[in-house]
Structure 1
Amino acid sequence: MNKVEIIGSIIFIIIGIIGLKPMIFNFKQAYNHQIPNISEARRIALVIYFGLAILLCPFVCGLLIYLMYIRLN
Structure 2
Amino acid sequence: MRIFLIMVIVILVLAIGAGGYLIVKEVINPKPIKTPTPSTQTSPSASVSPSASASESVSPSLSAIPLNS
Question: Which TM-score band (shorter chain)?
Answer: 0.3 to 0.5
TM-score of the superposition, structure 2-length normalised? 0.43
Answer 1 or 2: which has greater helix percent. Answer: 1
